[in-house]
Amino acid sequence: MQSYQGRRTVVTGAASGMGEATTALLRAAGAEVHAIDIAPIRADVMSASQCDLSDPSQIESAIADIGGPIDALFCCAGLAQTHPPLRVMAVNFLGTRHVVESALPHMAEGSAVAVISSVAGFAWKEAWGLHKSLHATDSIDEGIAWCEAHAEAVGDGYSFSKQALTSWVFVQTPVLAQRGLRINTLCPGMTETPMMPDFEKTVGDQLAALPCPIGRRSTAEEQAHALLFLNSVEAAYLTGAELFNDGGATAAMNMGMAEAMAGAIQEDKHG
């Protein structure tokens, strides 16, 4: 296990699933944990802020109450597409971005940020122009106005929010590196948490079609271990990484695409 002895950490989404598992591992590794969630937080933590990540003033006051230094920030909170698209965008991308931006002034050289995106953010390059223009919004309200004007692209909000988050992490990587800060994203595959039934209800057919070489779903704790690694002192050279902790799903999808492309090239040559 990574050592977090004496490190001050903040975890969003700490009431459930991966955020709750991350909080438990951090406590066991000796960290001081400050937890943020809209739902009541059961874990034994240094402070617990009940905060709606769609509301900038609640985010700012939660982070101000925690204060500095923040050595490691874990952004785990999120919503599935059972919620209205604008709320999904507000929590998964705009609110998470606001948490990071609010925490940064409290983070000194050597500190790190890990955000949970998803395998669903895999195709961010396909809509990069749109994501770039969403990134240019300056606030949650401006971001929501942008989403209202681009409702078709936003769709149910889930994949689009995760794509926006993954690509935002990449944009931030060189900016934060100049200050000696690291930022990485974890892309979990199918994970047994209270969110899973929501995915089954909305995109169950797509889940069934996802390749799963390892042959089972992940536990929340397996995702939490990966998050602790991303923000650990031992990962000092790791920044701008998109860590697919997905039982081989992305590797299988990449190979499927590579085979399809190779097939198309062969057909072009011969046909």
Ligand X SMILES: NC(=O)c1ccc[n+]([C@@H]2O[C@H](COP(=O)([O-])OP(=O)(O)OC[C@H]3O[C@@H](n4cnc5c(N)ncnc54)[C@H](O)[C@@H]3O)[C@@H](O)[C@H]2O)c1
Q: Which residues bind ligand X (CB under 6 A)?
A: 13, 15-19, 37-39, 51-54, 76-79, 91, 116, 118, 188, 190-191, 193-196, 220
Q: Least distance (Å) from ligand X to the CB of residue 259?
A: 25
Q: What crossing angle do the helices spanning 17-28 and 220-230 adopt, rounded to 10°?
A: 60
Two tokens at 179? Answer: 């200050």
CB of 192 or CB of 234, closer to ligand X: 192
Spatial distance between the Cα atoms of 69 and 7, rounded to a whole number of angstroms: 9
> Token pair of 19, please?
């955020």
> Which CB sits closer to ligand X, 18 or 241?
18
In this complex, which beta carbon is closest to ligand X, that of residue 192 or of residue 233?
192
Cβ-based neighbours of 92, under 8 Å, separated by 6 or more: 78, 79, 157, 158, 161, 162, 165
Minimum CB distance to ligand X smaller for 134 or for 220:
220
For the CB of residue 122, give the shortest distance to ligand X in the complex, in Å: 11
- Let me know: does 35 contact 41? Beta carbons within 8 Å: yes
Structure tokens at 38: 């809209």
Q: Give residue 205's identity as a one-letter amino acid code.
A: D
DSSP structure class, residue 48 = E
Phi, psi of 87 (to 5 degrees): -70, -40
Tokens at 58, concatenated: 């609640």
CB of 195 to ligand X, least distance (A): 3
CA 224, distance to chain mean position in Å, is 12
Provide, rounded to whole angstroms, the least separation between the CB of residue 84 and ligand X: 12
Q: Could you tell me the two tokens for 268?
A: 């072009």
What would the two tokens of residue 89 be?
A: 């965008």
Compute the least distance from the CB of residue 258 to ligand X, in Å.
23
Nearer residue to ligand X within complex by CB, 208 or 271: 208
Residue 186: other Cβ atoms inside 10 A: 25
**Smaller CB separation from ligand X, 246 or 265:** 246
Between 178 and 203, whose beta carbon lies closer to ligand X? 203
**Least Cβ distance, residue 142 to ligand X (angstroms):** 18
Q: How far is the CB of 236 from ligand X (least distance, A)?
A: 25
Sign, CA dihedral 185-189-191-196, equals positive
